[in-house]
Amino acid sequence: EYGHDLQRRKVSETHYVGNVAAVANHYNARPEVGVEGREFSPIIGLKKFNNWIKSVLIGKFAHRSQGRVLDLGCGKGGDLNKWKQARIRLYVGIDIAETSIEQAASRYQRMRSSFDGYFYAYDCFSKPISNILPEQLQMKDLYDNVTMQFCMHYAFESASKARMMIENVSRYLRRGGVFMGTIPNAELLLSRLDALPEDDQELRFGNSCYFVQFTERKHKGIYGHQYRFFLTDAVEDVPEYVVDWENFEALALEYGLKLVYKKPFHDILQEEKETRDFGPLLGKMGVVNEYGESAMDEDQWEAANIYMAFAFEKFR
């Protein structure tokens, strides 16, 4: 239907608008260590927990089988296996970091997948993805799911980027299809900022595995409220943007997407840890050991809850 050849297209010319060059360079430079290498990460417990969260989202909201998936900001393709488990038939991954896209494509080639995979290096927040997708991958109602994991917040640099992002998300998603994602919890970030002592000049909080640093104490509108984020062995001091939830939800509604799920990561664990579908996965994915003890220390556990997950259903 889509042709069985892996399609990989590199953008010969990448136009960076705003801060994306810093973001793309950062992710391009991160080494691919493979599954074995990953075990040596000082935050391996947190990485496994984040993977479990994504599996929960996919388990809850993926089309039952034969689904078609668009993954924006797909990175190195870390979710390819999770989507394989969901028995999809088509996966299209797009990311601004060319090196990551190459790694995603080669991971796909190695995995002996049962679905078609297409990979593109492209900035999904500045231009329509119709510029890069072949016609058969940009048909109306084509996708059952659009997923954006740990990346949507980069779009909230400006109104125009956030709009371009949501336009790209919604345009080819079918009615009844689900858009799912994970982002930092703005309410939590801003309440931690507000809780800093008045004479604090650094505007920084965190612990041994992460920090968040704001440049201004004042809450700054709904777009462009920048902070710097650092997470050991994952994100090295990259500019990110607060996602004002009310504004995001209103924006999504304009594009035919209504909220069906919104939860901080800690609450997801609380709610799902004993369910038949996701409880056993905690052990299988190494989030807990055979005695049920967490693979995360206190600091990783605190870092985990910076994030929240969401899902929207397309209603028109």
Angstrom distance (rounded) from CA 16 to CA 80: 27
Write b or e for each residue in 138-155: b if 16 or more Cβ atoms lie within 10 A of its Cβ, otherwise e.
beeebbbbbbbbbbbbbb
Told to check if 105 binds ligand SAM by CB under 6 A, we report no
**Which C-beta is closer to ligand SAM: that of 100 or that of 300?**
100
DSSP letter, residue 309: E
Of the candidates 155, 161, 178, 163, the residue with the CA atom closest to the CA atom of residue 243: 155
Q: Show contacts with ligand SAM in window 110-129 (CB under 6 A).
A: 123-125
Residue with tokens 């997923």: 147
Round to the nearest angstrom and report the end-to-end CA distance of the chain.
26
**Which C-beta is closer to ligand SAM: that of 84 or that of 219?**
84
**Which C-beta is closer to ligand SAM: that of 23 or that of 58?**
23
Q: From the list 58, 62, 69, 75, which residue makes contact with ligand SAM (rule: CB under 6 A)?
A: 75
**In the bound complex, what is the minimum distance in angstroms from residue 279's beta carbon to ligand SAM?**
22
Q: From the list 96, 186, 222, 303, which residue makes contact with ligand SAM (rule: CB under 6 A)?
A: 96
Q: From the list 108, 118, 150, 265, which residue makes contact with ligand SAM (rule: CB under 6 A)?
A: 150
The number of residues that bind ligand SAM (CB under 6 A) is 19
Q: From the list 73, 117, 177, 184, which residue makes contact with ligand SAM (rule: CB under 6 A)?
A: 73
**In the bound complex, what is the minimum distance in angstroms from residue 146's beta carbon to ligand SAM?**
12
Most distant CA atoms of the chain, gap in Å: 62
Nearest residue to ligand SAM, using CB? 75
Percent of the chain as helix, strand, coil, to the nearest 5: 35, 25, 40
87 near 15, Cβ under 8 Å? no
Query: Using CB under 6 A as the criterion, which residues of the chain lie in contact with ligand SAM when the complex forms?
Result: 20, 23-24, 27, 73-75, 78, 95-97, 100, 123-125, 149-151, 154
